[in-house]
Structure 1
């Protein structure tokens, strides 16, 4: 029987995608939180600057680049206390053959990820 990924599994997949990009771009992880609704997911250092990264896994028809402005403003205010920059990383995930369908365990998936968006 085909089994869809759970919300936590989708979140973990999104975090792996974003985490890999952060590593490739020279970020050093100070903290990683993979629990759903626990923000930020990554606290990372690059060029002696602190970065807070909020990761969200998004399914069709939602737009991966659209974030909750209230949440992100709250995160930004929290980050400012630590002189940190705040980023949003939305990862759209869908089935490999049809983005509109859910991701199935053990099958290919499709991804829409446009990188980090700085919250200014």
Structure 2
């Protein structure tokens, strides 16, 4: 029997998916923070430009593209002090057998469309 994933485990899963995507796009990681509620999750360089990436795991039925605009503006203001670009990476995670059930360690599907610039 597979166990239900905790909030931290869901967050780590989302971090792995976004981290792999950033790596594949040629980003160089300067800082990675996988603790819940510690932002940004990734501070990375690409083309000599600094990027702040906020990662959130979003459980069904919430929309992984929807983010807290007020919070993201705060992050963007902080990023601008460092001349950094700000991105949101929402990773939708659901139980693969029944979207209404909790997400299990080996039974999940991912809905991730990449970075959204703020």
Q: Same fold (TM over 0.5)?
A: yes
Matches within 5 A, 1:1-120: 1-105=1-105, 107-119=106-118
Q: Whole-Å Cα distance in 2 between the matches of residues 74 and 12 of structure 1?
A: 23
Q: Whole-Å Cα distance in 1 between the matches of residues 71 and 80 of structure 2?
A: 14
Any gaps of 5 or more consecutive residues in structure 2? none
Bigger shift: 1-10 or 28-37?
Answer: 1-10
Aligned residues, how many?
118
How big is the alpha-carbon RMSD for the aligned residues of Structure 1 and Structure 2? 1.0
- Per-residue CA deviations over 1:51-103 (Å, capped at 9, x if unaligned) read 00000001011110000011100000000000000000000001122233221
- Structure 1 outlier segments of 4+, above 3 Å: none
Q: Whole-Å Cα distance in 1 between the matches of residues 34 and 48 of structure 2?
A: 24
Q: CA deviation at 1:13?
A: 0.1
Q: Whole-Å Cα distance in 1 between the matches of residues 6 and 47 of structure 2?
A: 36
Any gaps of 5 or more consecutive residues in structure 1? none
Does the Cα contact within 8 Å between 1:60 and 1:101 map onto a contact in 2? Answer: no
Q: CA deviation at 1:16?
A: 0.1
